Amino acid sequence: MKQAPRHRQRGMSFIGVVLWGFIIVALAIVGSKAVPIVIENMNIKKAAVKAARQGTTVQEVRAIYERSQAIDDMTSVNANDLEVTKDTDGKIVVSYSYERDIPLYGPAYLVFRFNDSVK
């Protein structure tokens, strides 16, 4: 008498499902806190590029940046935090640097450090 071959069951165990669920939830929580920081950095860069292209003096560059800052509600970099210089071609260069952190758990933080220079 022949026996039918036994097929091993495939799939994840309950513990595997719980671990994957925990990992996905943790990434979603960190992602939901990180996305606004990244979007704010994109807005800061866009405002700095606009200020560098439209302004001709340091005061004009800062005034243009302040208007954009008021519209886009950016709080990490003020107009006084901008470093405005000219390169060898005479183009205005706007530089800024700042950092933001996300508290994860206890003493653990996720730190974003932004340092950019735009023309």
Residue 5 DSSP one-character state: P
pLDDT in tens, 22-80: 999 999 999 999 999 999 999 999 999 999 998 888 889 899 999 998 888 888 888 88
Domain range for residue 66? 35-118
Look at residue 1 in the predicted model and tell me its pLDDT. Answer: 64
* Exposure class string for 20-55: b at 16+ Cβ within 10 A, else e: eeeeeeeeeeeeeeeeeeeebbebbbebbebbbeeb
Q: Which phi and psi (to 5°) does residue 74 adopt?
A: -95, 130
**Structural domain includes residue 69:** yes
pLDDT in tens, 6-20: 777 777 889 999 999
Q: How far is CA 5 from the centre of its chain?
A: 55
**Structural domain includes residue 113:** yes
Look at residue 58 in the predicted model and tell me its pLDDT. Answer: 86
**Structural domain includes residue 55:** yes
pLDDT in tens, 71-112: 888 888 888 888 988 888 888 899 999 999 999 888 999 999
**Structural domain includes residue 12:** no
**Structural domain includes residue 66:** yes
**Structural domain includes residue 15:** no
Number of domains in the chain: 1
**Structural domain includes residue 110:** yes
β-partners of residue 117 are: 95
**Structural domain includes residue 41:** yes
